[in-house]
Amino acid sequence: MRKEAVRYLRCPHCSGTMTMDGGTLRCGSGHDFDVAKQGYVNLLRGAVKFSADTAGMVAARADFLAGGHYAPIAESLAALARGTAPEPVDGDPGCVVDIGGGTGYYHARVMAELAGSEGILLDISKFAARRAARAHPRISAVVADAWDRLPFGDGAASVVLNVFAPRNPAELRRILRPGGVLLVVTPRPDHLRELVDSLGLLRVDEQKDERLADRFAAHFTEVARERARGTMALDHKALPQLVGMGPNAWHQDGGLLEERIARLPEPCDVTLSVTLTAYRPLA
């Protein structure tokens, strides 16, 4: 946790500003939060509604992403951030916030493009936060619930990232400064299409882009939309990592998955297909 990032955070209990005292974050009302030895801080303020990614899921994600299979997404996101990030305000380039950022893979690539910015990654999983705290020298990791009030001041972020993650439009609008940009990455209906039936994966809603636009219309205006599409050649080591790193992991039987993968060719050609959308906050 970097001292430079603390100014953007707010106490999850009273919304007061916080300072860093050694290895502890404190607010004026007396609430304090110790920074874990792995470098992240836990700002959850109560019970959460959804299950956090397990250590196994996070490890699978880290291994899969290290293979470079989703590098086209990271590169497209970084380019979009570079082209849409706002100019500094009074010399402050602002904070790059990643909501549900997992291990920090995408966040780190964006931070490499936005020199001088502070990065704060939020994830509900402490296992993800541990890895994210080491993802980039200017990324600070926070355990927090994306569906709750986000632990940021109004207008704290110049750029908000949301990659395959939960999103609360009203809160994202609140934390984004005027002229800032929200970058959202969502899977398209043909994403991983070769594996949906053969491995029993969850299907992407055919109307996902339209539903997203409807949810955001009250708070944002769309300013850019791009598609990243390609073919990944996945071996039988990468396939269980892909299945095990996200929501599909909750719906799989390990033995049955292994049998299904064994019946697939190696390598297996799999479609990568996502939408990247840039939004500006409404006045």
Average pLDDT, stretch 258-276? 96
pTM: 0.95
Confidence at residue 82, expressed as pLDDT on a 0 to 100 scale: 96
Confidence at residue 234, expressed as pLDDT on a 0 to 100 scale: 98
**Residues 6+ away with beta carbon under 8 Å from 233:** 267, 268, 269, 270
Highest mean pLDDT among 83-97, 127-141, 247-261: 127-141
Average pLDDT, stretch 231-237? 98
Confidence at residue 47, expressed as pLDDT on a 0 to 100 scale: 74
255: pLDDT strictly greater than 90: no
C-beta separation of 58 from 103 below 8 A? yes
Other Cβ atoms closer than 10 A to 124: 22
C-alpha dist (Å) from residue 251 to 188, 194, 247:
20, 18, 8
Q: Which helix (H) or strand (E) holds 199?
A: helix 193-199
Of the candidates 127, 103, 121, 122, the one whose C-alpha atom is nearest the C-alpha of residue 52 is 127
Tell me how many helices (H) and strands (E) the chain has: 10, 11
